[in-house]
Structures are given as structure tokens and as C-alpha cells.
Chain A
């Protein structure tokens, strides 16, 4: 028997999969959505109304690059009109000052600007685009506008030793928050994992550095970091639990419990063109599948931590073990933890020290 659905809190709206960047760790699926299938302005507006009525508090506009939507200002207006808190997760690349003014005037609450590093050449290598210089301009424009800013640095093996430069860039900006988020290994990042996973020594140094930064900047800038869960003792509470807090909507209107859920075989995803948001949240097969504890195997089922980490990530369980209902193998209690240890041993082996230029697999642009 599946428990009653809790109130959804946040909507992740993948407005489009189009993007001027080609980051080697992109969280989009390997099979990208096509422009012709994207929801219209009216369809998204209806989704925002249904979300607010269902109790959702916040919508994150993401993509791809959400600014690739020519109707982005109208979408901000539509979401704000329903009372939602509106956050824009962007590379900043398609932004100019006039567009930024329009967005702020439309009521945009918060911008999360992504950075691939603090050094131009290596940042551009990761994004496969000459993007870094423009991002610095955007930072400058933001200083003269009233909108909250988070800087997001995606961290991996080849930039984890440059946190000092990144933090300095963040401190020179008007950001109230800086996130240092280690790559999580799905989709494009999984394909590039051996070039992205840091060593344990790198990770320990970085955590030490960021703890000191947190302490020093308390009350001025919030510094947050996410470690790669392969190194953790217990799994992450992925999405705050399957079907517990978040709904992700793909560019064509499919409702997913998380970014990567489409990789799990046999799951059917309802589309917001066919059913209401509340109905999908409460009753759809995909959201019910791993909601609550009924699906859990041992050791999760009798584990004290099951209400905190929910058995970890279903997609990661599937990617590493082939079984989406397995305990997340990054958990030190998981029967298949040795799979992760083998990956870590390779990342920390002597070969890892040699400086080879990585052969990146870049994310392309959808048709």
C-alpha cells in the first residue's frame, strides 16, 4: 500500500534542451528533447497555475539554457502571477543588459549563474564554448541590479585545485551564495567519469578549504558544497526522497521524479498536456513507484537512516547495479558497495597522477 502523497514544494522546469554550451558533465539526458516538441507559453503558464494550486512554492527555470526561450520574460511574469518564487538557472551566455532589466522588472527573484571555473582557458575547455569572458560581464551588470545571485561552480578533477581563485571571483561579485558542487555521475558526466572524479586527497583538501571559507564569510556570503557521493559513507537524500518534494518537467511536458529518471527501464511518465499536475503527482505510476518505503530491500528496510536518505538515488542504483530498487551502492552498508570502491581505486591509482589531456565527450545541441 503506497502512502498518501505529500505536498510538492518545488518545480524544476526544463524549458528547453537547447544550449549554447556543451559541458562534459551536463545533467540533461543523453537523448535530448527537440525544439518542435517544447511546451508553449500558454501550456507552461497553465502548469505554473496548477503547481501553485497544488502547494508548490518555487519554480526553477532551467534547461538546457532557459534564456534560449524567446518567451522567457513572459514565463517569468506568468510564474510570478501565481505567487511562485522564480529562480533562473543560467549560463548567462544569451544575456544582455536590456534582457536582464526585463527579467528583473518581470519579478525574477533569483539568478543562479553557472561557472566552469575561474580561469578562462580551462573553463572554456569544459563548456566547449568561449563563454567565460561573457559571464564576467554578466557579473558586472548584476552589481547594478536588485536581484539575488548565486554563483555555481561545478567541481571536478581538473578544477578542484583552483577553489581559491573561484572563491575570490565569488567574493568580488555581488553573490549572496556560492555553491561548489561536485559533479554527480549521470548522463554526460558518467560518460566522462574517469576524467572528472577527483582523488581522495584532492577532495579532502577541498573540504578543508571550504569549511574555512564558510567560517570566514558567515553572515556575508553563504558558501555551500556538495561532495561526490562516491566518497561518502552514506548516500545523498536524492531529491529529498522520490516523489516527496520535487517534480521535474521536461521541455515536452513529461513529469519526472528527478532529472535522470528516464533511464530507469519500464517506467511510464505522464505528460502535463494529458493529465493535471496534481493527478500526476498523487497517482501516476512513475511517482508512486519508489515513494515511501514499500519498495525498499534490506539493508534499507530496517535501517535507521531510511527516513533521512530514502535509500539514496534510484537512478544511481540502476546505473551501477542494473537494479533501480537496489540500495544505492555508494552506501557503505550496501551489498554492492565494492563496485564503487573499484571505481575509486582506479581514480586514486598511479595512472590517475599522469597528466594526460582528457578526451572529452561533449554534449551536442538537440535538433
Chain B
């Protein structure tokens, strides 16, 4: 498991999506499984839109959970994102990759 780059922009991988709002509970659908999302995990996943950087997501959640120890929030998010990446639920887009994609 490797730590995500703070400047990369996480995005849900192909075949992964949030179920619609208004369902009994929110889940992240993945091929062959689904993860139930609670408060913080849903807040993180909703921000994995390919636009926000890892650093921005961390700052957002540090504000949202201002009573928690900021370093702990950051570590938890990094661990969670890395696990989801290992499960092929997330891609991390680096600005480098972005440029090479738009060049082709």
C-alpha cells in the first residue's frame, strides 16, 4: 500500500459509482461488491471527483471535523484512499498524466 500524492486528484475508477441519493443507505458500488458508507467515508468519496486534490480533501474534512486531531484526520484519509486504490476503486490523476492524456 503506497501513500497517495497530496497533489493528485482522486477519481472513482471505471465501474465504481455512488448509489443515488434518497436510497435507504449510501453505498459505493464496485465490480462484485459494494461498500456501505457512513459519515466521514461518504464525505471523502463525494469529493473524489477528479477535480479536488488529496490535499484539498484533507483540508475540507479537517474543517468539517474540527474537533478531531488534524493529523489523525489526514492519516485516516490517506489510509482510506490508499486502501480504495488497492481495491481498484480509485484512480489518482496527476497533473503530469493529465497533460499527456490531453496531448493524445
CB distance from A151 to the nearest CB of B (A): 11
Residues of chain B within 8 A (CB-CB) of A176 are: 13-15, 31, 88
Beyond A85-B34, A146-B14, A147-B15, whether A222 also contacts B88 by CB under 8 A is yes
Cβ of B86 and Cβ of A109 under 8 Å apart? no
Q: Count A interface residues, CB 8 Å.
A: 21
Cβ of A110 and Cβ of B88 under 8 Å apart? no
Cβ of A83 and Cβ of B19 under 8 Å apart? yes
- B23 an interface residue at 8 Å Cβ cutoff? yes
- B96 an interface residue at 8 Å Cβ cutoff? no
Cβ of B31 and Cβ of A177 under 8 Å apart? yes
Q: Count B interface residues, CB 8 Å.
A: 20
Beyond A176-B88, A218-B86, A219-B85, whether A148 also contacts B34 by CB under 8 A is no
- B24 an interface residue at 8 Å Cβ cutoff? yes
CB distance from B8 to the nearest CB of A (A): 13
Cβ of B85 and Cβ of A148 under 8 Å apart? no
Residues of chain B within 8 A (CB-CB) of A238 are: none
CB-based nearest A residue for B86: A219
Residues of chain B within 8 A (CB-CB) of A109 are: 15, 17, 29, 31
Residues of chain B within 8 A (CB-CB) of A112 are: 31
Cβ of A177 and Cβ of B17 under 8 Å apart? no
CB distance from B39 to the nearest CB of A (A): 20
Residues of chain A within 8 A (CB-CB) of B87 are: 222
Residues of chain A within 8 A (CB-CB) of B102 are: none
Binary contact readout A96-129 vs B (1 if CB under 8 angstroms, 0 otherwise): 0000000000000110100000000000000000
- B32 an interface residue at 8 Å Cβ cutoff? yes
Residues of chain A within 8 A (CB-CB) of B17 are: 85, 109
Cβ of B29 and Cβ of A58 under 8 Å apart? yes
Beyond A85-B29, A219-B2, A219-B86, whether A148 also contacts B14 by CB under 8 A is yes
- A195 an interface residue at 8 Å Cβ cutoff? no
Q: List 27 A-B contacts (CB under 8 A).
A: A9-B34, A55-B24, A57-B27, A83-B23, A85-B19, A109-B15, A109-B29, A109-B31, A110-B31, A110-B32, A112-B31, A146-B14, A147-B14, A148-B14, A148-B15, A148-B31, A150-B32, A176-B14, A176-B88, A177-B88, A218-B1, A218-B86, A219-B1, A219-B2, A219-B85, A222-B87, A222-B88
